[in-house]
């Protein structure tokens, strides 16, 4: 047992070294912009760059719309599958897993060929259309995570009783979903939302191939042309991802336990 | 059971006779999932099918295998080969390292906070890919990276003089492992948690040694979910592009980068060959996922 614990510590510390050294190296590098002393110059330059602000804001807005679209598609579907069409569950689950099988670059390649400016549905013919297509593509990428999060949330509440109670009180389907089901799975939806945010904010492939002025392509461009700023941005990106994951962790503590389910 | 309570309610709610209620209900049933299916068909299935069909057509739209045959030209085969090698190496290394870490934090008798901290960190690191990750490794193992410089000044070991290069197969693999290990940890920890304490006690009661318990109980139970996760990691690495692109530009010829260049500028001078490359990618990740699902269903029998 004693040697077992030694090996456990050994493995853990080795892993910790592998994961922390690149972070430390990046932080160290990001502080070296001013010759001879450590300073936050790189961060100041980056945060003050108008292009950074513009691309970052663009990606944040895209992320928000992606989350909205994802919720609009996933919540009613997952709810309806649980309530009325359980026989469709395997098909829907299979579809939600497709984005894990089909690489993002292939999906966006398909979009470019199908929704080009000469096609019947010319998404790529206008800026607004291309932005919409980007949001749609991200919603597709986030589908596996969003669906799983919402479905787990629905499992912990008694969908049928809640629906019947609402119906008895005279609620329509819109009201039931928006004011009964959604608040009950809000925490699950939020954790799916933060994961979506983490995926979307630095995404490169789709944004780049659809020629959108997003944060990912900006980062890529910066790596090719600058030395210290990308290090600062990498740290910022890591902190954002960390923030999203911590929020999911914190939220999951508030999530209702499955004990509230009667059967 | 479900259907029964449903139709009862429908009958109770409607004064109409059951037959009429049924005919009224049918379209609304399906209406609830229509947005999802429209979305899935338009933005997931059709675009993919379009490429897959395009892979079997020539410029004139006639059916042909020429594009698939053209995939086997030296340049493209080399790209697939290095992609497969990087994905395989990073998924195997990531899987074994992730398994070791998972066992250490679940069964190794480490303090409890280490377990939760590791799981949170794994959630972060498995999503930490793309440009920031590439840059972190440039700052660590690049020519002027922290570790490269430290090894050179402290130990006198010049990595690059010994043939190491971050912009190579091993460089890419070691970078990919950074998101592969955490993904393994996140997936495999619940599986290790699923090993019931009773099994260990039962084995001990029957006189099994620790080694026998591992060999005859733990490994057979964990095996399917381990193998399944390896496959998932493989697919994960195979489709990744941003990290490799940021790290190597276009100097390392992996499939996603080749496809990226093809979409950008038709570097292969044949649009349908691009479709065929996309088809090849789906074929490989699809094959991997079929195995994944198969192993998954086998492992779930035990981990309920």
**CA-wise closest residue to A11 among B91, B218, B119, B98:** B98
Residue B57 binned pLDDT confidence (cut-offs 50, 70, 90): confident
Chain B CA closest to residue A110: B47
Structure confidence at residue A221 (pLDDT): 87
Structure confidence at residue A63 (pLDDT): 94
For chain A, helix (H) and strand (E) counts, in that order, are: 13, 0
Interface probe with B: pick from A1, A5, A12, most Cβ of B within 10 Å: A12
d(CA B271, CA A261): 55
Quote the DSSP letter at residue B41.
I
Chain A interface includes B140 (CB < 8 A): yes
Chain B interface includes A254 (CB < 8 A): no
Residue B294 has pLDDT above 70, yes or no: yes
d(CA B77, CA B75): 6
Chain A interface includes B105 (CB < 8 A): yes
d(CA A248, CA A197): 11
Give percent above pLDDT 90 in chain B: 21
- Choice among A71-75, A253-257, B198-202 with the minimum mean pLDDT: A253-257
d(CA B64, CA B60): 10
Average pLDDT over residues B195-208: 85
Place of tokens 């960390």: A242
Chain B interface includes A6 (CB < 8 A): no
d(CA B184, CA A24): 23
CB contact (8 A) between residue A110 and residue B135: no
Structure confidence at residue B25 (pLDDT): 55
Structure confidence at residue A22 (pLDDT): 92
B120 and A245 in contact (C-beta within 8 Å)? yes
Could you say which residues from 144 to 173 on chain A have a Cβ atom under 8 Å away from some Cβ of chain B?
Answer: 160, 164, 167, 173
- Distances in Å between the Cα of B94 and the Cα atoms of A18, B182, B186 are 12, 8, 12
Average pLDDT over residues A154-180: 88
d(CA B26, CA A60): 40
Give percent above pLDDT 70 in chain B: 88
For A42-98, the pLDDT digits (tens) are: 888 888 888 999 999 999 999 999 999 999 999 989 988 988 888 888 899 889 988
From A1, A5, A85, residue closest to B29, measured CB to CB: A85
CB contact (8 A) between residue B33 and residue A223: no
Quote the DSSP letter at residue B195.
S
- Residue-range domain boundaries for chain A: 20-260
**Predicted TM-score (pTM) of this structure:** 0.84
d(CA B178, CA B128): 8
Residue A124 has pLDDT above 60, yes or no: yes
Structure confidence at residue A184 (pLDDT): 86
Hey, which residues does B63 pair with through a beta bridge? Answer: B57
Place of tokens 């059709």: B46
Residue A8 has pLDDT above 80, yes or no: yes
CB contact (8 A) between residue A234 and residue B131: yes
CA distance A153 to chain B (A): 18
Q: Where are the alpha helices (DSSP H) in B142-270?
A: 146-150, 169-193, 197-205, 210-213, 219-239, 242-248, 255-265
B299 and B224 in contact (C-beta within 8 Å)? yes
From B132, B236, B239, residue closest to A105, measured CB to CB: B239
User: Which superfamily is assigned to B72-303 in CATH?
Assistant: MetI-like (1.10.3720.10)
- Choice among A76-85, A241-250, B79-88 with the minimum mean pLDDT: A241-250
Residue B13 binned pLDDT confidence (cut-offs 50, 70, 90): very low
Q: What is the dihedral of CA A237, A209, B70, B235, to 10 degrees?
A: 30
Structure confidence at residue B26 (pLDDT): 57
d(CA B123, CA B81): 30
Residue B293 has pLDDT above 80, yes or no: no
Give percent above pLDDT 70 in chain A: 96
Structure confidence at residue B17 (pLDDT): 45
Structure confidence at residue B303 (pLDDT): 55
Cβ-based contacts of B200 with chain A (< 8 Å) = none
Average pLDDT, chain A: 87
Chain A CA closest to residue B257: A105
Residue B15 has pLDDT above 90, yes or no: no
Average pLDDT over residues B205-215: 86
d(CA B90, CA A99): 21
CA distance A238 to chain B (A): 7
From B147, B281, B285, residue closest to A21, measured CB to CB: B147
**CA-wise closest residue to B94 among B190, B174, B194:** B174
From the CB of residue B48, how many other CB atoms can be counted at a distance below 10 Å?
A: 21
Chain A CA closest to residue B237: A103
The pair of three-digit structure tokens given for residue B118, joined into one six-digit string: 């590791």
Structure confidence at residue B19 (pLDDT): 46
For B101-160, the pLDDT digits (tens) are: 998 988 877 888 888 888 888 888 888 888 889 889 988 988 888 888 888 888 888 888
For B235-272, the pLDDT digits (tens) are: 889 988 888 888 877 777 889 998 998 888 877 777 88
User: Which superfamily is assigned to A20-260 in CATH?
Assistant: MetI-like (1.10.3720.10)
For B103-120, the pLDDT digits (tens) are: 898 887 788 888 888 888
- Choice among A8-17, B23-32, B220-229 with the minimum mean pLDDT: B23-32
Average pLDDT over residues B227-240: 86
Place of tokens 């990750």: B133
Structure confidence at residue B3 (pLDDT): 43
CA distance A205 to chain B (A): 6
d(CA A17, CA A24): 10
Structure confidence at residue A255 (pLDDT): 66
Sign of CA dihedral B52, B259, B253, B65: positive
With both helix axes pointing from N to C terminus, report the angle between A41-48 and A50-83 in degrees, rounded to the nearest 10: 70
B131 and A216 in contact (C-beta within 8 Å)? yes
Structure confidence at residue A54 (pLDDT): 93
Quote the DSSP letter at residue A158.
-
Average pLDDT, chain B: 82
With both helix axes pointing from N to C terminus, report the angle between A127-155 and A104-114 in degrees, rounded to the nearest 10: 140
Chain B CA closest to residue A95: B40
d(CA A203, CA A194): 14
Residue A123 binned pLDDT confidence (cut-offs 50, 70, 90): confident
Residue A192 has pLDDT above 70, yes or no: yes
Cβ-based contacts of A71 with chain B (< 8 Å) = none
Q: What is the dihedral of CA B133, B135, B137, B142, to 10 degrees?
A: 160
Q: A251: Cβ–Cβ under 8 A, 6 or more apart, which residues? A: A187, A190, A191, A194
- Residue-range domain boundaries for chain B: 2-54, 72-303
ipTM: 0.85
B137 and B129 in contact (C-beta within 8 Å)? no
Average pLDDT over residues B84-110: 91
Residue B27 binned pLDDT confidence (cut-offs 50, 70, 90): low
d(CA A31, CA A235): 11
Residue A164, judged by CB atoms within 10 A of its CB (0-12, 13-18, 19+), counts as: middle
Residue A2 binned pLDDT confidence (cut-offs 50, 70, 90): low
Structure confidence at residue B215 (pLDDT): 85
From B40, B136, B285, residue closest to A25, measured CB to CB: B136
d(CA A258, CA B9): 26
């Amino acid at each position: 047992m004693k040697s077992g614990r030694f090996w456990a510590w050994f493995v853990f510390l080795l892993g910790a070294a592998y994961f922390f050294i690149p972070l430390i190296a990046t932080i160290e590098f990001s502080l070296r912009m001013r010759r001879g002393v450590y300073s936050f110059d790189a961060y100041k330059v980056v945060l003050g760059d108008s292009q950074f602000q513009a691309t970052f804001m663009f990606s944040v807005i895209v992320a928000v719309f992606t989350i909205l679209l994802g919720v609009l598609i996933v919540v009613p579907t997952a709810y309806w599958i649980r309530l009325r069409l359980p026989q469709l569950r395997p098909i829907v689950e299979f579809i939600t897993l497709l984005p894990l099988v089909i690489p993002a670059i292939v999906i966006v390649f398909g979009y470019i060929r199908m929704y080009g400016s000469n096609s019947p549905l010319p998404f790529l013919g206008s800026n607004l259309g291309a932005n919409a297509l980007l949001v749609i593509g991200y919603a597709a990428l986030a589908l596996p995570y969003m669906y799983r999060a919402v479905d787990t949330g629905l499992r912990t509440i008694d969908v049928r009783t809640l629906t019947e109670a609402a119906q008895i009180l005279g609620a329509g389907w819109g009201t039931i979903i928006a004011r009964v089901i959604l608040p009950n799975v809000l925490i699950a939806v939020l954790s799916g939302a933060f994961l979506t945010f983490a995926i979307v904010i630095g995404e490169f492939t789709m944004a780049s191939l659809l020629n959108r002025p997003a944060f990912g392509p900006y980062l890529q461009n910066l790596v090719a042309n600058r030395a210290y700023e990308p290090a600062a941005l990498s740290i910022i990106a890591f902190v954002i991802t960390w923030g999203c994951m911590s929020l999911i962790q914190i939220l999951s503590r508030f999530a209702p336990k499955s004990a509230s389910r009667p059967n | 059971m479900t259907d029964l309570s449903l139709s009862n309610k429908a009958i109770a709610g409607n004064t109409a006779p059951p037959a009429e209620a049924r005919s009224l209900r049918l379209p609304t049933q399906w209406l609830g999932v229509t947005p999802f299916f429209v979305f899935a068909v338009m933005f997931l299935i059709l675009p993919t099918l379009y490429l897959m069909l395009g892979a079997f057509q020539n410029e004139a739209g006639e059916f042909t295998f020429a594009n698939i045959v053209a995939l086997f030209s030296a340049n493209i085969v080399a790209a697939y080969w290095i992609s497969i090698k990087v994905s395989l190496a990073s998924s195997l290394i990531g899987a074994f390292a992730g398994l070791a870490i998972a066992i250490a934090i679940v069964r190794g008798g480490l303090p409890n906070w280490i377990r939760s901290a590791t799981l949170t960190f794994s959630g972060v690191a498995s999503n930490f890919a793309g440009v920031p990750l590439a840059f972190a490794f440039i700052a660590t193992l690049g020519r002027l990276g922290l570790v490269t410089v430290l090894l050179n000044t402290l130990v006198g070991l010049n990595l690059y003089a010994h043939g190491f290069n971050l912009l190579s197969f091993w460089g890419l693999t070691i970078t990919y492992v950074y998101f592969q290990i955490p993904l393994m940890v996140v997936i495999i920890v619940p599986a290790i948690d699923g090993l019931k304490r009773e099994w260990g006690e039962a084995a001990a009661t029957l006189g099994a040694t620790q080694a026998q318990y591992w060999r005859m109980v733990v490994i057979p139970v964990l095996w399917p979910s381990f193998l399944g996760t390896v496959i998932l990691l493989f697919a994960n690495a195979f489709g990744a592009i941003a990290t490799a692109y940021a790290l190597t530009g276009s100097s390392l010829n992996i499939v996603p980068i080749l496809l990226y260049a093809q979409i950008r500028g038709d570097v292969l001078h044949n649009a349908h060959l691009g479709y065929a490359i996309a088809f090849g990618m789906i074929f490989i990740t699809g094959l991997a996922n079929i195995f994944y699902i198969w192993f998954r269903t086998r492992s779930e029998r035990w981990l309920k």
